[in-house]
Structure formats: structure tokens, C-alpha cells
Amino acid sequence: MTEAPNPAQMTPDPTAGLEGVVAATTTLSHVDGQNGVLILRGKTIEDLAGKMPFEAAVEHLWEDFSQVGDHPLRTAFGQARTAAFAVVPLLEDAAPELSVFERMQLGLAALPLKRGLPDAVAITGALPVFLAASHRMALGLAPVAPDSTLNTATDLLRMLTGTLPPEGHADALNRYLVTILDHGLNASTFTARVIGSTQAELKQAVLGAMGALSGPLHGGAPGPVLDMIDAIGQPENAEAWIGGALARKERLMGFGHRIYRTRDPRADVLKAGLRLIGAENPKVKLAEDIEAAALAALKRAKPNRPLETNVEFYTAVLLDAIGIDRTLFTPLFAVGRTPGWCAHVLEQQQTGKLIRPSSHYVGPQPV
């Protein structure tokens, strides 16, 4: 008689957060954490970010789906922004205590679809409009209508400020949006795929993904990086401040990653972009000095645990350098990641499979 398997031996450690569990087969992105490589549909992130605009990178990611339509994505996203601006009055009438992120979710929930644009185009094009309008409302300013002739990054900055941005700032934002386009089966992407597997509408999957992104363990790290940089203040303070933080067992924001066991390749992509625009910005030099001090201190404190710079560190410095308020970091993350969420939902729906994992019951038995 064969002995029954022990359920505890069959079940992944629940405290590991499903680490190592394969839950999807994808052609979209691959994260090689051991070697510090990020691949998006056959191209490394270094071949995409800084080499092509956001729209071209999205076209590359969406190549296997019928979301591009008959027009170039720059044109289609421009049309989508114009259509989305009709929803902005609803955001103005919303409760004043809603955050920018919550107003974006409200706008997306109200966004009419099936009006000549593929859903993924309409959703991706709408979120920059909702972000910029919501931020201006929070400042007591009138929303700025989109300019459909501009690319996404340029128009987003223009809608935020009311004026055309410097070309270098638009290029830097383009680089950031491409860098965060897709990144394996992270928490928000997995959420999107689960919702999409039920054959729910695409915008419902994106709304769910935004909910996952709102958590501080996923989309909230770049802001605290700036808080750390501000607290250190001067390069000569970095070593003592970092040493004190480590002695208090505090986490250094912007260092270490759940997947990468070496340097996050996106950090170098963003750092390279920062050098193109930030030579005169004293905070850039301060950030580089803090990075060097932090890496040295982490190596001394945890010699057997590789902790390298992650994407959040230079995300914070880059976005700050081009004038993005730190309260917008998570909303902007959603703008850049939405095409990836959409692609994963479309890919999952092609399989026709409902994602339905099992759980391991450890509660009391009936008496």
C-alpha cells in the first residue's frame, strides 16, 4: 500500500509569497535575477529604454496582439487622450479627499470603451490625462486639455505644468516609462492576469492591478528614497547616516530586490538618463555619493547577502530632477506599467484558462 503524501511537503512555504512557483507561460518579459538581465520580447531593457520612445516600445510588447490597430500608436494614444478628457469633469466633481491615484481609478472606471479604439489603447492613453488633471485639481488649478499631436511623455509633462517641457525632460520621462513597461509576474501583473483569466473586461483587470500597485511593498518605494536623500542632506553625512540606519535595523530604500541578486539593470538605464539631464543638479551628485556609501556599508554589514541598487533609487532621483512631485511616483508607475498589464491579460485570455490555485488548510478539523 502506497503511503499518502504529506500535504505539508506538497505545499510551497506560504511565508515565501509563492516565490519560485511558476504560474504562467509568457512571451512578454523575463527577469534573470541571478545575472541582472531584463528581457522584453527578445530585447534587453538596455536595447529599449533610451533607444526608442514609449509608443514604439509598447508596439514591440504588443506585437502578438491586435491592439495597435490601423494607426501608429503615437496617433492612437493621442486620440485616446482626447477621448479621455471628456471624463475629466467627473473627476472635478469627486470627493475632494480622493488622492490622485484614486481619481485615476475613478476616471478609468468611468471611461467608455468600444468607441473605435482597442481597449488597451484607450486605457493606456487615458491614464496620463487622469493623472495630470487630478494633480492640477489638487493644486487648485484647471486641468489642461491634451494635445494629440505630441508623444505621451511630452504631453504628460505639458498637461502637468501647462507648458511644453524641455526636450531633455521629455526624453528622461520616455526612458522611465519604457524602463517600467513590464517586469515578469510581479504582484500587480499577477493580479491583472488572475482577473483577466475570468474573462473580465480589460479595464477591470487594470483597476485590480492598480489596487495591488497602491500597496507600499510594491509601488511605494521611490518616494521614501527622496526622503532618505533629503535627510542625509550633504555627501559628508552619508556614511554616518547610513551606518546609523543599519545599526537600527532599518531598511535602506532603493537597495536590494526580491528577485535580483545583482544590480537591477533598470537602475543603470535610469542613471544613464540622469547623466544626460542632471549634470548641474546638486541632488544628482548627492545621490551618487549616497549610493556609493550605501553599497559599501551594506557590503560590510551583510557580506553574504548581495544588496545592490534597485530601480527605485534612480527612479526617485530622475523623476525629481525633471520636476515630478514625489506624490505622483506611484500614479506615474501605473501609467508606465499599464501596457504590460494589458499585454498579460490579453495573453492569459488567449489560453482560456481560469487561474485557480489551491490552498493548504491548516485550520481545526470538525469535531
Q: How far is CA 280 from CA 267, 285, 303, 316, 319, in A?
A: 20, 9, 35, 17, 15
CA–CA distance, 318 with 184 (Å, rounded to integer): 23
CA–CA distance, 248 with 270 (Å, rounded to integer): 30
Q: Residue 350: is it exposed, middle or buried by C-beta count within 10 angstroms (0-12/13-18/19+)? A: exposed
Exposure of 139 in the CB half-sphere (CA atoms within 13 A): 16
Catalytic option among 55, 308, 312, 347: 312
Cell of 311: 530601480
Cell of 316: 526617485
> Could you confirm whether 257 is annotated as catalytic?
yes
> Could you confirm whether 312 is annotated as catalytic?
yes
Q: Is 88 in contact with 107 (CB distance < 8 Å)?
A: yes
Catalytic option among 135, 169, 183, 257: 257
User: Which residue(s) pair with 81 in the sheet?
Assistant: none
Catalytic residues: 257, 312
